[in-house]
Structure 1
Amino acid sequence: MRLFITTAVAALAIAGAAAAQTAGPAPAPAAAPAAPASGQYISVSGGFIGKADYDYGFANGYRFEGDVDAGGQGAVAWGSALGNGWRGEVALGYRSQKSSGVLTTNGGAQFDFDGGKVTTFSIDLNGYYDFPVAGPVRPYLGAGVGVAQVKIDDGMLDDKGDALTLQGIAGASVAVSPRVSLFAEGRYQFTGAIKVKTTSGAGDKEQKLNMTGPGGLVGVRFAF
């Protein structure tokens, strides 16, 4: 929790500094009917997060292999243009996915668990480059780093932990007015290492989990 809060405060401070750099007289409008090339924006998006898997052990030697189903995700971001096609943003994200898994004992017996859930709250610093093409459609590439708080409740483990997040982004936006753009993007998202603790008759065991999977978002961006 401390890592999550510290990163959130730092991210907001960086975003404020970036916003201050863009303050001042508005730039001349671009010839192409695209969103303003400088200034700040707010975006809202929703989409899916793909399948993932994870595994962990217990102090008594038992192992649990979990599968996370595809689920939904959403994000709200505040960003600012940095010039020459570059922009940066602070994004708050939420993901919700169902999970299942198999517990294997020391003797090789296996037990199935269904009806679990994995939820993730994240705050990310994302950077983008919008390619300078003519027309209302503008492709872009991006990358992000941040921190997430992941809660796992899969029938054997009920715990949450902070983790580093990394993501690669590719998408395109289309301007529907000088200040409003629609966008769609694909993401490859990594979350780990998630610190959790398992408990058994032999005692507690601390360990780290990783989750990696594809995702996608569609949304709207409002410039101001």
Structure 2
Amino acid sequence: MRQKILACAAVGLGVLSATSLGHAAPKGPFVGIMGGANFTDDQDISGTGVGINRSVDTDTGWAVLPSIGYRYGNGVRTELELGYRTNDVDSLSGAVGGSGELTAKSVMLNLLYDFNIGGRVSPYIGAGAGYAQVDYDSVAPVGAGRIDDEENVFAYQGIAGLSYWLNNSVELAAEYRYFATQDPDFRTSAGVPVEGEYNSHAALIGFRINFGAPAAAEPAPVAPAPAPAPAPVAEPEPPALPRNFIVFFDWDRSDITAEADAILRDAVAYAQQHGAVRISATGHADRSGSDEYNMKLSMRRAKAVESHVIASGIAASEISIAAKGEREPLVPTEDGVREPQNRRVEIILE
């Protein structure tokens, strides 16, 4: 028991010590649910009397864990979790066969940390503590009777998982949990006091819905300034160059959206009409990934614009591209924030 408590404490310390490594998840509340297979270790029953000391072996059971929580914007999140775990008894040592069911209903407060490794995948670890109602339902044979009793006891757990972000709000998750409690005290149907155990391993899948994601709508492109009216006797002046255009991108994407396509068509038409001899395209990214990842992502965005402009009739020799990563944000933010206006390519006509 002591070793198990130390193991969970070590996981908790790992969560706290990792809080300086960065994050990619949005700040704000979330709800989620996990479910899957539940496996118990052999649970020892101990007491005084003939046939009392048994080891309970169970079949594979199931677990479901709904939760509600909050992300703090620095990788740390807390959650309040309800749990239901159940396994049928397969056999009891020293007896022919066995019957009954082991169930644990829990309320846990968890502390977790999401690691930012760039992109949509995010590993996480965590630990939790709370209370559980451990129920030995008609577990037999134990002595001259059975155990049909329950007790509320302290519970703790360790968590390790991997999440995949479908978009700014929804993430899928797969995780492992070790869950254990203090040894519950029961009485058999014959009135004999006994001590039981409860600990389990769970392999779970599920999802979380996050309510702190930024708005998906991109800002409207900057409209061209009107050309000044010519003087009555002077020759008409062409609109001045250089001229800037900006196209925006979805989070962690480099494909050209319908809105970006319309802006690029305007830029190409403007360049052909007014005789631009050079077009430069500079890619940028927000601060939700690592610096190395964002540099590569911003280059992919610049290359996507280059390909689109060439396909629209501009010679490849007239285009130059560059990447700035997250180093020149349009809107300054803290590290890890997903800011739509920083996911862009700036186009300058010269």
TM-score above 0.5, yes or no = yes
Number of the residue aligned with 1:48: 37
2:269 paired residue number: none
Measured against aligned partners, the alpha-carbon deviations of 1:191-217 in whole angstroms (never above 9, x if no partner) come to: 2222212353xx532x43222232111
Equivalent in the alignment of 1:106: none
Where does residue 103 of structure 2 map in the other structure?
A: 119
| 8 Å contact from structure 1 (residues 72, 95) kept in 2 | yes
Q: 1:179 aligns with which of 165, 169, 189?
A: 169
Q: Supply the distance in 2 between the matched residues of 1:146 and 1:69 (Cα, whole angstroms).
A: 26
Counterparts of residues 28-177 of structure 1 (less than 5 Å): 36-63=25-52, 64-102=54-92, 110-153=94-137, 154-155=139-140, 156-177=146-167
Q: Which whole-Å deviations, capped at 9, do the CAs of 1:87-108 have from their partners, x for residues lacking one?
A: 00000011110114437xxxxx
Write out aligned runs for 1:14-29 (5 A). Answer: none
| Higher RCO (CA < 8 A, seq sep 6+) | 1
- Structure richer in strand, relative to its length: 1
Q: Secondary structure at the match of 1:112?
A: coil
In the TM superposition, what whole-angstrom CA distance separates every residue of 1:58-87 from its partner, at most 9, and x where no partner exists?
Answer: 543432321122210001000001231100
Deviations 1:164-191 (A, max 9, x none): 2211111111111111100001112212
The residue that corresponds to 1:193 in the other structure is 183
Q: Distance in 2 between matches of 1:41 and 1:50?
A: 28
> Which residue is equivalent to 1:208?
195
Letter in 1 for 2:40: K
Work out whether residues 150 and 161 of structure 1, in 8 Å CA contact, stay in contact via their aligned partners in 2.
Answer: yes
After superposition, the C-alpha distances for 1:6-26 in whole angstroms (9 at most, x for unaligned) are xxxxxxxxxxxxxxxxxxxxx
Q: Which has the larger radius of gyration?
A: 2
Superposition deviation, residue 120 in structure 1: 1.4
Q: Which secondary structure state, in structure 1, belongs to the residue aligned with residue 192 of structure 2?
A: strand
Aligned 8 A contact 1:58 1:199 in 2: no
Corresponding residue of 2:204: 217
In structure 2, give the amino acid aligned to 1:211: Y
> What is the TM-score when the length of structure 1 is the normalising length?
0.74
Q: 1:162 Cα deviation (Å)?
A: 1.2
Compute the RMSD of aligned alpha carbons. 2.0
C-alpha separation between the residues in 1 aligned to 2:74 and 2:167?
Answer: 21
What is the aligned-residue identity percentage? 33
Aligned counterpart, 2:291: none
Q: Structure 2: which amino acid aligns with 1:182? A: L
Q: Which residue is 2:264 aligned to?
A: none
Query: How far apart are the structure 2 equivalents of 1:72 and 1:138?
Result: 25
- The residue type paired with residue 123 of structure 1 is V
- Measured in 2, the distance between the counterparts of 1:166 and 1:42 equals 21
**For the residues of structure 2 that align with 1:193 and 1:82, how far apart are their CA atoms?**
35
C-alpha distance in structure 1 between counterparts of 2:178 and 2:46, whole Å: 27
Unaligned runs of 5+ in 1: 1-31, 104-109
Structure 2 CA distance for aligned equivalents of residues 199 and 130 of structure 1: 47
TM-score of the pair, normalised by structure 2: 0.49
Q: Report the CA distance shift for 1:89/1:60 in structure 2 as closer, same or farther (over 3 A).
A: same
